[in-house]
């Protein structure tokens, strides 16, 4: 068995479409999609098109510092979404993976005070996640290589552009 789960761009295309199919079939019609940056941005964008939802919001949460290395707790980074934008809405929270589930729990609890309903959609869910998402494309207990974060950043380093 491969050590890592690989989500290529091509596979993400069908994964996000299938995830959207689950949501549509369930009859849930979110007023807005709240993505968890950065990985959740890709998922939210794809779901936004597939479900015809144009109202997309972002929350920045920092937790992981490397492969299976994390801070003690996930932290929300500013800007935090305006509660007024969320009030009374049916919200779909979108992220790439629920691993420990701590990130999704933080965001879901943040929403719970304001919104009329909140559900979570992820591409992957790991078995130990403390949040059980309503919509999951695939389950795994392996580390996942996502197409958007697998390669090192293309940044200027001592005057050179790396790995363009
Ligand atoms: P959690 O709070 O559920 O432990 O982790 C949520 C975030 O951690 C994800 O949105 C993702 O950014 C990062 N993360 C957790 N597990 C993995 C993984 O298997 N692969 C990658 N690339 N990132 C992960």
Say what the pLDDT of residue 130 is.
97
Hey, how many other C-beta atoms are within 10 angstroms of the C-beta on 57? 16
Does a structural domain hold residue 92?
A: yes
Does a structural domain hold residue 116?
A: yes
Does a structural domain hold residue 59?
A: yes
Does a structural domain hold residue 153?
A: no
In the predicted model, what is the mean pLDDT of the chain? 92
Indicate which residue's Cα is closest to atom 16 of ligand 1: 99
- Write out the residue range of the structural domain in which residue 121 sits: 5-146
- Out of 41, 99, 124, 126, mutate this one to test ligand 1's pocket (max ligand atoms within 8 Å of CB): namely 99
Say what the pLDDT of residue 159 is.
64
Q: Please state at what angle helix 9-26 crosses helix 39-51, rounded to 10 degrees.
A: 50
Prediction ipTM score = 0.97
Does a structural domain hold residue 135?
A: yes
**pTM for the whole structure:** 0.92
In the reported structure, the alpha carbon of residue 52 is separated from the centroid of ligand 1 by a whole-number distance in angstroms of 27
As a whole number, mean pLDDT of residues 37-66 equals 94
SS3 12: helix
Q: How confident is the model at residue 79 (pLDDT cuts 50, 70, 90)?
A: confident
Q: Say whether pLDDT at 67 is over 70.
A: yes
149 — phi, psi (to 5°)? -125, 5
Cα–Cα dist 34/145, whole Å = 23
Does a structural domain hold residue 105?
A: yes
Say what the pLDDT of residue 147 is.
98
Which residues on neighbouring strands pair with residue 118, listed in sequence order?
A: 91
- Out of 39, 64, 126, mutate this one to test ligand 1's pocket (max ligand atoms within 8 Å of CB): namely 64
Cα–Cα dist 60/116, whole Å = 22
Give the position of tokens 């989500």: 7
Closest to 43 measured CA to CA, from 137, 164, 153: 137
Q: How confident is the model at residue 37 (pLDDT cuts 50, 70, 90)?
A: very high
């Amino acid at each position: 068995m491969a050590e890592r789960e690989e989500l290529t761009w091509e596979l993400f295309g069908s994964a996000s479409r299938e995830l959207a199919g689950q949501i549509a079939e369930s009859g849930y019609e979110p007023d807005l999609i709240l993505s968890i940056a950065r990985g959740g941005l890709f998922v939210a964008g794809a779901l936004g098109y597939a479900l015809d939802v144009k109202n997309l919001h972002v929350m920045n949460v920092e937790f992981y510092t490397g492969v299976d290395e994390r801070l003690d707790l996930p932290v929300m980074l500013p800007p935090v979404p305006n509660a007024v934008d969320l009030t009374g809405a049916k919200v779909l929270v979108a992220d790439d993976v629920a691993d420990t589930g701590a990130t999704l729990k933080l965001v879901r609890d943040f929403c719970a005070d304001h919104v009329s309903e909140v559900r979570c959609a992820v591409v992957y869910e790991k078995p130990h996640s403390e949040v059980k998402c309503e919509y999951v494309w695939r389950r795994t207990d392996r580390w996942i290589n996502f197409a958007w974060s697998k390669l090192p950043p293309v940044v200027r380093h001592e005057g050179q552009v790396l790995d363009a």
